[in-house]
């Protein structure tokens, strides 16, 4: 599940928010594609499965269009949400086809 939140006002700059979720069920790194941001966005990860153990997924890398997560114990397996905040690449409107 992914959710695109529109721009949020933050002073004089635009902040776009993209939210999604993933399931951690193995020790393999988890790469999640996100819409392209101008620079690597600020990212956070949080549990969505109600577990309260001290172990959770970690963000191992953030690029302008991918967030990578990892887990180091089986106690960290579960369902997670994530949020990326920053400025997405500007979307240019498509040029209108010439009329004849």
Residue 41 sits in a domain whose CATH number is: 2.60.40
The β-bridge partners of 86 are 16
Which residue is listed with tokens 């890398």? 61
Q: Assess if residue 98 is contained within a domain.
A: no
57 is in which domain, residue-wise?
Answer: 2-86
Asked whether residue 92 is domain-assigned, the answer is no
pLDDT tens for the chain, 100 residues long, are 445 555 555 455 679 999 999 999 999 999 999 999 999 999 999 999 888 767 899 999 999 999 999 999 999 999 999 999 999 987 554 444 454 4
In the chain, the number of structural domains is 1
Residue 100 lies in a domain: no
b/e 34-64 (16+ beta carbons within 10 angstroms → b)? beebeeebebebeeeeeeeeeebbeeeebeb
Q: Which two tokens stand for residue 10?
A: 């933050």
- Identify whether 81 is part of a domain: yes
pLDDT for 91 equals 59
Residue 93 lies in a domain: no
Does some domain include residue 6?
Answer: yes
């Amino acid at each position: 599940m992914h959710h695109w939140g529109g721009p949020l006002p933050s002073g004089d700059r635009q902040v776009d928010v993209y939210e999604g979720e993933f399931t951690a069920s193995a020790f393999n790194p988890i790469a999640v594609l996100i819409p392209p941001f101008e620079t690597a966005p600020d990212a956070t990860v949080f549990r969505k499965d109600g577990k309260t153990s001290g172990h959770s997924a970690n963000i191992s890398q953030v690029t302008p269009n991918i967030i990578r997560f990892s887990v180091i114990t089986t106690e960290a397996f579960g369902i997670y949400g994530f949020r990326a905040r920053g400025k997405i690449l500007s979307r240019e409107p498509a040029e209108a086809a010439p009329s004849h």
